[in-house]
Structure formats: structure tokens, C-alpha cells
Structure 1
Amino acid sequence: MPTIVNCPTCKSKVEWSEQSPHRPFCSKRCQLIDLGEWSFENNRISAPITSAEDFSQDMIEDIEAMMAKNEDDFFK
């Protein structure tokens, strides 16, 4: 079963898979809105992640699989 996440910008449901090229965002538009928020320092990391329990096992495996591919297509 695919992992479903909420788009950080508009909160719509997004499937975390190869079919969602802008994941975790639903679209390029939401991706760029988020990038703008970070560039204007409206977003901050408030506290360090204290444990791996903050992530589901499926999410960790998906992230590791993406990293293993060594694809740098985030901004394409």
C-alpha cells in the first residue's frame, strides 16, 4: 500500500511514489511556494529530530530508496 502524505503547502493528499514527481508536494506550484517561504526565512526548523520514531518505517524506506537512486531531480 502506498504511503499517502499531505502536501505541506495546500494540505491535499499526495501519494509518495514515483508517480508523484513533486512529492511531498502536490504540484510544482506548491513546491515553489514552499521554497519561497524558506528563502524569506518564514519557515524554520524549530527543534532537532530526537529519534527515528518520528518517522514511519515505510517513510524511512521510501527516503532510503530515493537516496539510493542518487537522482538529483528535485528542481526539474
Structure 2
Amino acid sequence: MATFVDCPTCKTRVEWKEENRWRPFCSERCKQIDLGAWAEEKYTIPAVNLPEDPEELAE
């Protein structure tokens, strides 16, 4: 049974298989668009605001 995913960039349905060298993307173009977005810091990962005093962490 084949597995399909949506291309993260353009949402085209893509079969997840070894022959698809761009997976999970549908093409090199979509892969490069995504890489460019990371390079321009368009994606962020939320961080937990930890207290600056290390002793507060021990509590």
C-alpha cells in the first residue's frame, strides 16, 4: 500500500517512496523555497522562557 503526503510548500500529493529524491517535497523547487524560508528565519520554534537565576530552576 502506497503512502502519500502533502508537499509542505505547495500541498501537492506526493507518494512517499525512495525514488522520490525530494520527499517530502514534490520537487527541488519546493525544497529550495522551504530552505529559503528557514534561511530568512520565517519559521520559528517556540522557546520556554526560563528564569535567568539558576537557583530558581532548582525550586
What RMSD in Å do the two structures reach over aligned CA positions?
A: 1.4
Aligned-residue identity in percent: 57
Which of structures 1 and 2 has the bigger CA Rg?
2
Q: Larger helix proportion, structure 1 or 2?
A: 1
Count of residues in correspondence between the two structures:
47
Amino acid at match of 2:2: P
**Runs of 4+ with >3 A deviation:** none
Q: Distance in 2 between matches of 1:44 and 1:3?
A: 28
2:33 maps to: 33
2:21 maps to: 21
**Gaps spanning 5+ residues in structure 1: where?**
48-76
**Gaps spanning 5+ residues in structure 2: where?**
48-59
CA shift, 1:45, in A, is 2.9
